[in-house]
Chain A
Amino acid sequence: MIKQEMILRNTMRQLGFESEEILPKGGFGAVLARAGVGKTAFLVQLALSGLLNEKKVLHISLNDPVDKVNIWYNELFRLLAAGDERVNKAAFLVSLLPNRFIMTFRVDGFSAPKLEERLNDLSEQGIFSPSIMIIDGLNFEDSRISDIKELKKLAEKRGMQAWFTVQTHRHEEMRTDIFPLSFAPFAGLFEIILELRHEHADVHIKVLRGSGSVGESALLDPTTMLIKDKF
């Protein structure tokens, strides 16, 4: 029961998408925002949503250690499940975690071949084979188009949906057709592009690219970093 309610509460439906399956297999999604607006929190919610739908999620962090990423999950899960006293939440979260794997790399040590090697290690031994991949902290300014294309090939080969955080800067303007200079060369590889923007007391989530939902927006509560309920 708690599972159903959490799925309903935390979905991409809030953004006008028809279902959770907004990315095709091998598809790329990007969440663009300035530092500190809530990119990681947003992607962890997407990951939790995937876990609730019994998907296997690989979370790659290029900035934070495993423990810190873990805290993000615990904290956001606690907030999402807040108020529901019927079940043992700790036990419920524990039941989801075997489907999540956290990998951290130093930024300079991350590459598609290295990731593929790690994934092969895991899948060959039957330990883990993800269907959703979150890549948090990749620096697009220092990346080459060929690097991202390699990642795309890997995602397609393994049938994974991949979500990226993209950091933007104060001076960079964003529109549905114009992306920040650092991200623009890569934009063609992404099926969905979302933007998080701090406006007054709220964080707005705006769809910049994505089938049929462009221009739709939702809100992120800046105190909890949860997507605000429309219902």
Chain B
Amino acid sequence: MSDPTEDIPEVDYVEGTGIPIRGNDIDTDQIIPARFMKVVTFDGLGQFSFFDLRFDDEDNEKDHPMNEDRFKDANIMVVNNNFGCGSSREHAPQALMRWGIDAIIGEGFAEIFAGNCLALGIPTLTADHETINALQQWVDDNPDGTIEVDVEAETVQYGGNEISVNVDNAQRQALVEGIWDTTALMKANQNAIQETANSLPYV
């Protein structure tokens, strides 16, 4: 049998520039409103990221970091607490990924959202409020400044600073070893799956 983890990239390191998205409890309805989910593929969702916060009723741009030229090429999002709460829609991280986001650093993430990010190979890294605030401010002042995310070492470097961040153990291992796409990995355990099924009284 072929190696079930082949072709899945290792995500041990992300480098790029940042974009700050401030506020606690930013829900997935904000990240992508439900009306843009009336689709049968994820293609083209990037343009709808934070749509209602970025555009008014006449489709004029509102003040939002994603509308600012200086953040147009950003790939590392810096957010606050409980980011991605609410709906389980994978459309949310899909939209962010298709907009260009490769990693998200924040105070905290809703669980389903973080799991969906992992399934796409997007690391979600956490640090405390002060650390995140300082990073958001630095990104604001240095939109072209390079941020280096070391997933394995759980560090972020920017502007001569190095901060410690936390990555959930299983997430870190999955990303670093390139085993974050679990379909083939789990499918390889056919016999054990069948044994478990056979042991359950209701199956």
Is B one of A's binding partners? no
Residue positions of A touching B, CB distance < 8 A: none
Chain B interface (Cβ < 8 Å from any Cβ of A): none
